[in-house]
């Protein structure tokens, strides 16, 4: 398996290999406003920087001579087996990176059996994305002020064959993103995030008139919902039989409450530093949460994963799967569907070679790996 990745990545790769160069290539491909929107964090970007720097404080201690000629990178989640421990994080408004947006991403991800999480503020509808590939898909929910719209989205996701619902709990209002405020830029206002709303009868029935500006205003009104609390999650549990994951958990108390509430999984995440600036890096939040959850439900992770060794550290710290955000968005901006495919090929090669060099042959062994903290 590892050798396949090596051969594929040598053939015809047109993307920069290093994340830093990939980011520069995306900067050249995108408008300054769109690039800033994707790249930046909230506030002074303290948390965005912490996400990156935190990895350097954790070190892998390889245990060798373990015959790692055959690797098995597969994992089981919610009763399904996936060939890699990776998931593509929900990223809204993908059409600003490429006309094919979510279609291109889900098609590329499907070639690796990697789940793609479609955002509430996706450029296309749940049904369109559902049909665009036969790969695994999960749906990310921003809770709406009018909860019938949320339930309508969840029902549509069930009917379109999505396999899980990811409720993002860290975005009850938008983070204070200084760069976007400077540019006066909102991708929603450009019509990049309305695919699910303009195709939803419950949402449309809330509008006095159906025009572009009414849709945009309606979306903003719907997804700002500071009243969100545990009772909503309990209600959602009754509405769907799909596994529910909470995304944006940083406090161990919330992790414990999530387990008590009966959700099926959680995602330790600070939204890539885009929400509350100054919060703990996801890597630093992870060990305590893994400890309190104690294997009762899967703990997934995102924010700051750029290379195979980053993913290795996160799994060794106890995460069950790893979400990737900006790297695939940049790859999409630079080279569309092929770009995402090439990124995943290279990333998996890096990950597989990191596993090999650490002396672990499967994800269970990886999770037992020794890791030390400065
Ligand atoms: C996001 N993220 C996000 N999360 C979510 O739950 N719903 C969404 O619609 C979006 N939209 C979005 C847009 C853009 C441009 C970015 C960069 C991110 C957050 C995303 O799911 C994930 O938490 C972070 O991107 C992970 O951090 P890295 O990998 O980008 O560092």
Q: Is the minimum distance from the CB of 305 to ligand 1 under 6 angstroms? A: yes
CA of 210 to the centre of ligand 1 (A): 29
Helix (H, G, I), strand (E, B) or coil at 326: helix
What DSSP assignment string belongs to 51-97? Answer: HHHHGGGEEEE----S--SS-B--EEETTEEESSSEEEPP-S-GGGT
Residue 85 lies in a domain: yes
Work out whether the CA dihedral 131, 194, 141, 150 comes out positive or negative.
negative
CA of 297 to the centre of ligand 1 (A): 23
Mean pLDDT for the chain?
Answer: 96
Reported confidence tier of residue 85, pLDDT bands at 50, 70, 90: very high
CA of 91 to the centre of ligand 1 (A): 5
- Is the ipTM higher than 0.90? The answer is yes
Residue 36 lies in a domain: yes
Q: Is the minimum distance from the CB of 218 to ligand 1 under 6 angstroms? A: no
pLDDT at 10 exceeding the cut of 90: no
Backbone angles phi, psi at 17, to 5 degrees: -80, -40
Instruction: Name the residue with the closest Cα to ligand 1, atom 18.
Output: 91
Q: Minimal CA–CA distance to 355: which of 368, 372, 341?
A: 368
pLDDT at 2 exceeding the cut of 80: no
The 10 Å Cβ neighbour count of residue 367 is 17
Residue 65 lies in a domain: no
pLDDT tens for residues 190-246? 999 999 999 999 999 999 999 999 999 999 999 999 999 999 999 999 999 999 999
Q: Is the minimum distance from the CB of 303 to ligand 1 under 6 angstroms? A: yes
Q: Is the minimum distance from the CB of 41 to ligand 1 under 6 angstroms? A: no
Q: Is the minimum distance from the CB of 195 to ligand 1 under 6 angstroms? A: no
pLDDT tens for residues 61-80? 999 999 999 999 999 999 99
Q: What is the pLDDT of residue 14?
A: 82
Ligand 1 nearest atom to the CA of residue 269, by list position: 23
CA of 257 to the centre of ligand 1 (A): 24
Q: What is the CATH number of the domain that holds 110?
A: 3.20.20.70
Ligand 1 nearest atom to the CA of residue 306, by list position: 29
Domain count, the chain: 1
Helix (H, G, I), strand (E, B) or coil at 5: helix
Q: Among 92, 219, 305, 307, say which to mutate for ligand 1: greatest number of ligand atoms within 8 Å of CB.
A: 92
Residue 252 lies in a domain: no
Work out whether strand 80-82 and strand 75-77 pair parallel, antiparallel, or are unpaired.
antiparallel
Q: Is the minimum distance from the CB of 23 to ligand 1 under 6 angstroms? A: no
Average pLDDT for 311-326: 98
Give the rounded percent of residues in the chain with a pLDDT score beyond 70: 97
The 10 Å Cβ neighbour count of residue 178 is 16
Sorted by sequence, the CB contacts under 8 Å of residue 301 that are 6+ apart come out as 267, 268, 269, 282, 286, 314, 319, 321, 322, 323
* Residues forming the active site: 271
Residue 64 lies in a domain: no
pLDDT at 252 exceeding the cut of 60: yes
Helix (H, G, I), strand (E, B) or coil at 115: coil
Residue 251 lies in a domain: no
Burial environment of residue 147 by CB neighbours within 10 A (0 to 12, 13 to 18, 19 or more): middle
Reported confidence tier of residue 326, pLDDT bands at 50, 70, 90: very high
Q: Is the minimum distance from the CB of 118 to ligand 1 under 6 angstroms? A: no
Instruction: Name the residue with the closest Cα to ligand 1, atom 25.
Output: 325
Q: Which domain holds residue 186?
A: 2-58+76-245+262-285+296-301+316-352
CA of 89 to the centre of ligand 1 (A): 6
CA of 253 to the centre of ligand 1 (A): 23
Reported confidence tier of residue 4, pLDDT bands at 50, 70, 90: low
Residue 328 lies in a domain: yes
Residue 365 lies in a domain: no
Q: Is the minimum distance from the CB of 100 to ligand 1 under 6 angstroms? A: no
What DSSP assignment string belongs to 245-298? Answer: EEEEE-SHHHHHHHHHHT-SEEEE--GGGTSSTTPPPHHHHHHHHHHHHTTSS-
Q: Is the minimum distance from the CB of 247 to ligand 1 under 6 angstroms? A: yes
Instruction: Name the residue with the closest Cα to ligand 1, atom 3.
Output: 91
Q: Is the minimum distance from the CB of 333 to ligand 1 under 6 angstroms? A: no
Distance CA 141, CA 364 (A): 30
Ligand 1 nearest atom to the CA of residue 271, by list position: 23
């Amino acid at each position: 398996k590892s050798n396949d990745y090596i051969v594929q990545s040598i053939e015809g790769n047109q993307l920069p290999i290093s994340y830093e160069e990939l980011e520069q290539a995306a900067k050249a491909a995108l408008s300054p406003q769109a690039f800033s929107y994707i790249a930046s964090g909230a506030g002074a970007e303290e948390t965005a920087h912490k996400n990156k720097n935190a990895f350097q404080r954790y070190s892998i201690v390889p245990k060798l001579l373990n015959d790692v000629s055959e690797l098995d990178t597969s994992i089981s989640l919610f009763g399904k087996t996936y060939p890699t421990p990776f998931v593509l994080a929900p990223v809204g408004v993908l059409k600003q990176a490429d006309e094919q947006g979510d279609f291109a991403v889900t098609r590329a991800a499907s070639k690796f059996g990697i789940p793609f999480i479609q955002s509430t503020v996706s450029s296309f509808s749940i049904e369109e994305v559902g049909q665009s590939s036969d790969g695994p898909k999960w749906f990310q929910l921003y809770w709406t002020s009018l909860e019938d719209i949320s339930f309508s989205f969840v029902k549509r996701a069930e009917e379109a064959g999505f396999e899980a619902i990811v409720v993002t709990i860290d975005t009850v209002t938008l983070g204070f993103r200084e760069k976007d405020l400077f540019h006066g830029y909102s991708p929603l206002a450009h019509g990049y995030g309305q695919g699910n709303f303009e195709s939803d009868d419950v949402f449309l029935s809330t509008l006095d008139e159906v025009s572009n500006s009414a849709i945009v205003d309606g979306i903003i009104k719907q997804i700002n919902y500071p009243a969100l609390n545990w009772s909503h999650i309990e209600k959602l549990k009754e509405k769907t039989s799909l596994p529910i994951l909470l995304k944006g958990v940083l406090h161990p108390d919330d992790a414990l409450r999530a387990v008590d509430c009966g959700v099926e999984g959680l995602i330790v995440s600070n939204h890539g530093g885009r929400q509350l600036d100054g919060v703990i890096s996801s890597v630093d939040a992870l060990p305590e949460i893994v400890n309190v959850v104690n294997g009762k439900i899967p703990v997934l992770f995102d924010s700051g994963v750029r290379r195979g060794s980053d993913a290795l550290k996160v799994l060794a710290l106890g995460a069950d799967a790893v979400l990737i955000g900006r790297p695939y968005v940049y790859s999409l901006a630079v080279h569309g569907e092929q770009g995402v495919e090439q990124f995943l090929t290279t990333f998996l090669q890096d990950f597989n070679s990191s596993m090999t060099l650490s002396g672990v042959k499967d994800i269970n062994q990886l999770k037992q790996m020794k890791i030390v903290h400065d």
